[in-house]
Structure 1
């Protein structure tokens, strides 16, 4: 029997149409790879360049990147900033403000990222992500200035990180 090569293709949908289906797949136990949209996880994750590998959430903790429904039909991929009982505060790495949801609104847990078109995944439990997270979380008071420099100077001359 001849071998037929399999090819992957990408299709873009509006988040409001697509993400409920992703949630359904995660709840069925599937893993899902999503191309990231938006700039909330800058400077290390870029719009329409990087991908996230999601699984059904089990035990999440402060610092974990998650996919959450912060209002009906509106999903965000952010890092958990704080957990107080059932109330979760989320903040994108590129955001100064926060979003809120309940623990049951966390619909996906990110286990890794494919950055810059690479086929090798940067795992969120790996040393690289943990080191980056350790420093970036502690730089919160300086983020406004660092992100401004990154947006106005670094990207125009060197491109996204």
Structure 2
């Protein structure tokens, strides 16, 4: 199968159009910010419309800005992220990738493109649905471990990945 890479500025609006029409979209994730459960170029996300009000713990694709950005930075530097909601304050949604230790982004509900329904991990043909017991346990444990994530992620990068390198689909 041939793989085509497109810039997010072209690709994500197409995904948004599909989701706005009520479809789901599946694509390979890029980046390491959702590590250790979702790996760059290995895993795929299944996105659908965010028909309900999002909740803390949901993983969403959104157009977001860095928390604490100045008004000029907010206008000039929005970017797309697939991250977990860690806090909701009125209309402001705070996001953080599972593989991020301190970085956070902010968006509003209108900036949400889609919500993760599941993840195709490790080349599997069936997704781990976010409503499934396995994914709910992963999520709760990982959120609970936030204070010690720095050490877990370091061990994962420096020990686990050397012993068990990531196999990427071609």
Regarding TM over 0.5, the answer is: yes
Matches within 5 A, 1:129-148: 129-148=135-154
How many Å separate the matches in 1 of 2:6 and 2:78?
A: 14
Q: Which runs of 5+ in 1 are unaligned?
A: 1-7
Corresponding residue number in structure 2 for 1:62:
56
Which residue in the other structure is 1:4 paired with?
none
CA RMSD of aligned residues (A): 1.5
Q: Are 2:81 and 1:76 equivalent residues in the alignment?
A: yes
Q: Which has the larger radius of gyration?
A: 1
Would the aligned equivalents of 2:59 and 2:115 in 1 still touch at CA under 8 Å? yes
Higher relative contact order (CA 8 A, sep 6+): 2
List 4+ stretches of structure 1 deviating above 3 A: none
Confirm or deny: 8 A CA contact 1:43 1:160 kept in the other structure. Answer: no
Which of 152, 155, 170 is residue 149 of structure 1 equivalent to? 155
What residue ranges of structure 2 are gaps of 5+ in the alignment?
Answer: 66-76
Total equivalences in the alignment:
154
Deviation of 1:159 (Å): 2.3
Q: Normalising by structure 2, what TM-score?
A: 0.86
Matched residue SS, 1:11: coil
